[in-house]
Amino acid sequence: MPKLKTRKSAHKRFKITATGKILRRKAGISHLLAHEDSGKKRARRRMVEISPRDEYKISRLLPYGRR
């Protein structure tokens, strides 16, 4: 079997934990933040787990991450 290629765009956007969870960044932290309260901005900095519905699709793009 030949090696599978990792999709580099997905590799930059997602992180796979040691237990196999796939994490993503939250949206809405790049600009227009003056009207947001600090708690909301702080919460958006954290990584969150992707939805179970998307897990299979993302894991196909990252073939050598743990599942």
Q: Return phi, psi of residue 50, to 5°.
A: -75, 165
pLDDT tens-digit series, residues 38-55: 999 999 999 999 999 999
Tally of CB atoms within 10 A around 33: 13
- pTM equals 0.83
User: Rounded CA gap, 12 and 54, in Å?
Assistant: 17
Choices 1.10.3720.10, 3.30.70.520, 4.10.410.60, 3.40.980.10: CATH for 8-61: 4.10.410.60
Q: What are phi and psi of 54, to 5 degrees?
A: -90, -10
Closest residue by Cα to residue 58 from 23, 19, 30, 17: 23
Task: Name the residue ranges covered by the structural domains of the chain.
Answer: 8-61
pLDDT digits (tens, 9 = 90+) for 4-49: 999 999 999 999 999 999 999 999 999 999 999 999 999 999 999 9
Residues 6+ apart with CB under 8 A from 61: 6, 7, 10
